[in-house]
Structure 1
Amino acid sequence: MRKFNIYTIVVSLLVLSGCSDFLDTQSYTTSTVENYYKTPAEVYSALVGCYDGVQSLWSGGGAFPVVSEIFSDNVFGGGGNGDGLGMQLLDEFDKSRSPSDQSIFNAAWVNYYKAIYRCNILLGKLDQVDWGTDTSLKTTYEAEVRFLRAFMYFDMVRLWGSVPLLTEPSADNIAPSDPQVIYAQIAQDLVFASENLPATSYASQPVTTHGRVTKWAAESLIGRVYLFYTGYYQQQDLAGVVTKAQALAYLEDVIANSGHGLVSTFANLWPAASVDNYAGEDNKETVFAIKYTYTSDYSTGNDDGNKWLVLLGMRSFSSYPYGNGWGVGTVNPKLWDAYNSTDTRKVASIISIEGENLAFKNQADQREYTGYYIKKYTPMSNKDGSSVAQTLAANAGLKSDFQIAQFQDYVVIRYADVLLMAAELGSPSAQSYFDQVRQRAYGANFSQLPVSQENIMNERRLEFALEGIRYWDLLRQGVDVAANAIAETTQVLNGGVTATKTISASKILATKGLQQIPDTQISLSNGVLKQNAGW
């Protein structure tokens, strides 16, 4: 078969480095695939490489947490007024907005398959290792890697629909698989992980293992995958692998036995919203997160930073505690207005230029200025206006800057999500789970609402705003639901001048909510890959 270039990964990819906690900054010796994977220690090194691959997924264009918000009704594309229109292409589902960006997702596509390649290599070598008399470590490592592979395929199948499904190392130019087949593999990997990872409670997890996949992460992700697949594809179960009752049982197990819980104050989940009261990375509400550190270094090539975070900062402007960034993802005023004034999540989630009396000066350089920016994920500044990330890097003797040294983790799954998913799936405790999330949000102003599908979905919008979840929640209710929610014609400021912003429902309907497969990859595949409808 003809070889597909993106799958050909040179041996140098086995030079592994990582980030804090489990993913430390140790470098591992380069080895060939043939002579490596002989001992548990070598497998551990390769396991770190798999996590490192996941950490690097969004180091190029098309970062999943960013684009997921841009697709939604939460934010606009934003960016600099003189920038290209790639963000507007994504925001409006319209390739005519930036015809030169037909491969806007190419870096992300390549990074996903690089990381999957690492996972598949490791999974294929486990049987050749001398594990001694206790093979439990082998099973644990396999479970972690299968979770990571499932996590990545879940991103990809949501973005692009049909993609090539590789479960072993290959450079073959294979055709995309049907989504049902991909989801079946995702489900099988997650079920294996949930059944073979130790049931260690949050309080009992060693600090050195923070950042690694847990049984609770696997069970929680099963719930998320089940809800999206059965909603978007209108199916009764998860690709014949997980039933509704089983999905709920996994979530109930997390609630009953994981030791995870809600952080008492919502704002304390986010460093920019709480500063000195930040609950910290790996707090009890974090079920799974992608880890980052400030240790990126231009001189060594070490690349552990959160490169996408800087996109979301206020455009070339800092005001303690907020650092400067590139102004992508300006918040839609509709989201600000959706919150009740007594909902503490409002000011914890969104930076209001007027509400916080910020002397923002760069409207002339900002596209689609609304007066609102993302607070949950934004760079941080010191009181003197300098970058926190860059200061930490400099103090460690690293050659870095504010663009590559951002270190805030991306929290993929919070315990609040587990509660609301279980409520949505019909738990007998649904009202209690629903109330717990809302009681934290409203405090003394809490008043009970009846648990219902409509109320749960509205609560999810407010609870998880700007965390990369809203779009997928809309899409799983139906493409028409998503299109109607996202479509609008409104006024924004482009370079300080009033302009009309239009997002057409017909564009979203035409694409079925899917994104364009990079033209670069279609060309490399010699036409085996086909462009999605509407693009």
Structure 2
Amino acid sequence: MKKRYIQYGALALISTVSVLASCKKSFLELTPKGQSLESNYYQTADQVYAGLVAAYDPLNTQTGGSDNTYSDPLGPLNAASDDCVAGGGSSSDQNTWQAMNDMRLLTPAVGPQGEFWNINFTGVNHANLILSKIVGNNSITGLTTALQSRYIAEAKFLRGHYYFDLVRIFQNVPLILAPLTSSELYTQKQATPDAVYAQVEADLTAAIPNLPTTVVPAEYGRVTQGAAKALLGKVYLYEKKYAQAAAMFADVNGTPGGTSTYGYRLMANYGDIFSPDHKFNSESIFEIERTGTQSYSWGNWNQFKSSVYSQMIGARSYTGPIYWAGWGFNPVTADLATAMKGDPRYGYTIVNIDSLAKANNATYQASYQNTGYFIQKYAPLLKYKAATGTTELNFPNDYIEIRLADTYLMEAEALVQGAGDAGRAAALLNAVRARVGLPAVAATLANIQNERRLELATEGHRWFDLVRWGLAPTVLGTSKHFTAGKNEILPIPLNELNNTVLVQNKGY
């Protein structure tokens, strides 16, 4: 039987870690060095730090289990939207992604819900464990009061982050705030969504004062005040608390088009945002780092801190220049390509492999649901091909989960929805457009929604946006067979229902 999420809490094994050598080091560039039993751990500041890293680690999950599961959230989220289709080798290749592409196939037993559930509850439990060990504990060797406060803040941010994903994906989830004993494993009841959102707000609010405003390069990837405020603003937006959302985003964004108090500013060149040559750039608010220096092979399954997603989305058996041959997942829809034609962001978002192959007398194998269009933002470029290890498992493309243009547009939306400052809403929207040379438009909700699609295309936000705007049934009803009143959330994984008191979501 597969482990359930709650089994990670009471008997956690914590891996100690070291930083890999690279041109730009980060604490998230990790490799396991050994394991220690939880009961003997958390005696020193170094051990607490290793436990904190373990709480961050689920953010970087792209592979899981022994059944060749690819868990990167971008894949199924893009497949569920009108940005992409599932693709791959066939209609059964990565059936979890296929089920998001055609929601008639989504059942408690088939879909990406198991990965979403396990990733996030593993994170919740690691955060709970570190909090249970250090809150109020003044006897840990070498742990200063300042470090203790920061680690607690980071753990609370992470717990809030994981629960925000859980509540917006599943709506009805258990609210677990401490490690569980074995007798409690199967008795966890679902909390109300309001209770979960309240806890997320509480965790993020508590975290903000004790997080640093900036971090040094060796700490890139760790949470800052700006990241926590941006996430809290996003939580408020999902709750339709528009005034609170706008106020929180305003702290993050500063003057539209300028440099905020946290040092954020829009990148002058849109394409540089996604380049491995510009990691943790001025537009990055919360970034999940991938490393291309692990030199890992298939024998390191489930340990990758690289961008396996880059390999997933490359054109199958491609023989031309610029790109490494991938596996053909998440082809871009003709609908998105048409919407972006003439937009300056097109070439940084989409590559027309059909045209490129013809121009270079090259070939590629059409993937399932092939459109000829592929994702450019995370593409497997030859210039980033790893010098050692298995090439397809070692691409260095980061994922910027929250960036400044995103928070600009979310603040503009909150202002328009909440009858706020129309002038500031327009300034935020048009700063995003001006960055790529587009003319100003009125700050209407429709224009903001359209700008979010074009600015953030293929970055994993579109499905969530359509659901929260109530547009998913109209936009996705035909192409993805989205059913209103059902597909706004995913089913509780079948494995989690066995021998528990959990109740399946409506419609599943």
With the length of structure 1 as denominator, give the TM-score of the two structures: 0.82
How far apart are residue 134 of structure 1 and its match?
A: 5.1
298-307 vs 63-72, greater mean Cα deviation: 298-307
How far apart are residue 227 of structure 1 and its match?
A: 1.6
CA distance in 1, matches of 2:105, 2:273: 36
Q: For the Cα contact (< 8 Å) 1:40–1:129, is it kept in 2?
A: no
Instruction: Supply the AA of the counterpart residue of 2:118.
Output: V
2:76 to 41, 54, 67: 67
Spell out the pairing of 1:62-461 with structure 2 (5 A cutoff): 62-81=71-90, 83-84=92-93, 85-95=95-105, 102=110, 104-126=112-134, 127-130=136-139, 135-170=145-180, 171=182, 172-173=185-186, 174-200=188-214, 205-230=215-240, 237=241, 244-256=242-254, 257-271=261-275, 280-294=278-292, 295=294, 297-298=296-297, 302-317=303-318, 319-341=320-342, 343-356=343-356, 357=359, 361-363=363-365, 365-382=366-383, 388-389=384-385, 391-392=386-387, 394=388, 400-426=389-415, 427=421, 428-441=423-436, 443=437, 446-461=438-453
CA distance in 1, matches of 2:427, 2:112: 43
> Structure 1: which 5+ residue stretches go unaligned?
231-236, 238-243, 272-277, 383-387, 395-399, 489-501
Report the 3-state secondary structure (helix = DSSP H, G, I; strand = E; otherwise coil) of the residue aligned with 1:79: coil
1:99-133 per-position Cα deviation (integer Å, ceiling 9, x unaligned): 79526432442232222221111011112243689
CA distance in 1, matches of 2:493, 2:306: 25
Report the 3-state secondary structure (helix = DSSP H, G, I; strand = E; otherwise coil) of the residue aligned with 1:50: helix
Report the 3-state secondary structure (helix = DSSP H, G, I; strand = E; otherwise coil) of the residue aligned with 1:177: coil
Cα distance, 1:199–1:100 mapped onto 2, change above 3 Å: closer
Aligned Cα root-mean-square deviation (Å)? 2.6
Report the 3-state secondary structure (helix = DSSP H, G, I; strand = E; otherwise coil) of the residue aligned with 2:5: helix
Identity percentage of aligned residues: 30
How far apart are residue 482 of structure 1 and its match?
A: 1.0
Cα distance, 1:61–1:105 mapped onto 2, change above 3 Å: farther
With the length of structure 2 as denominator, give the TM-score of the two structures: 0.86
Cα distance, 1:372–1:309 mapped onto 2, change above 3 Å: same
Report the 3-state secondary structure (helix = DSSP H, G, I; strand = E; otherwise coil) of the residue aligned with 1:118: helix
Q: For the Cα contact (< 8 Å) 2:173–2:190, is it kept in 1?
A: yes
Instruction: Supply the AA of the counterpart residue of 2:272.
Output: N
Q: Is 2:485 the counterpart of 1:485? A: no
1:409-430 per-position Cα deviation (integer Å, ceiling 9, x unaligned): 1110111112111222224522
CA distance in 1, matches of 2:483, 2:235: 22
457-466 vs 169-178, greater mean Cα deviation: 169-178
Report the 3-state secondary structure (helix = DSSP H, G, I; strand = E; otherwise coil) of the residue aligned with 1:90: helix
CA distance in 2, matches of 1:309, 1:137: 36
Instruction: Supply the AA of the counterpart residue of 1:322.
Output: Y
Instruction: Supply the AA of the counterpart residue of 1:465.
Output: A
Cα distance, 1:18–1:291 mapped onto 2, change above 3 Å: farther
Cα distance, 1:466–1:289 mapped onto 2, change above 3 Å: same
How far apart are residue 30 of structure 1 and its match?
A: 3.2
Q: For the Cα contact (< 8 Å) 2:61–2:72, is it kept in 1?
A: no
Cα distance, 1:44–1:28 mapped onto 2, change above 3 Å: farther
Q: For the Cα contact (< 8 Å) 2:17–2:33, is it kept in 1?
A: yes
1:258-299 per-position Cα deviation (integer Å, ceiling 9, x unaligned): 11111101112223xxxxxx6511111111111121215345
How far apart are residue 472 of structure 1 and its match?
A: 1.0
CA distance in 2, matches of 1:157, 1:315: 36
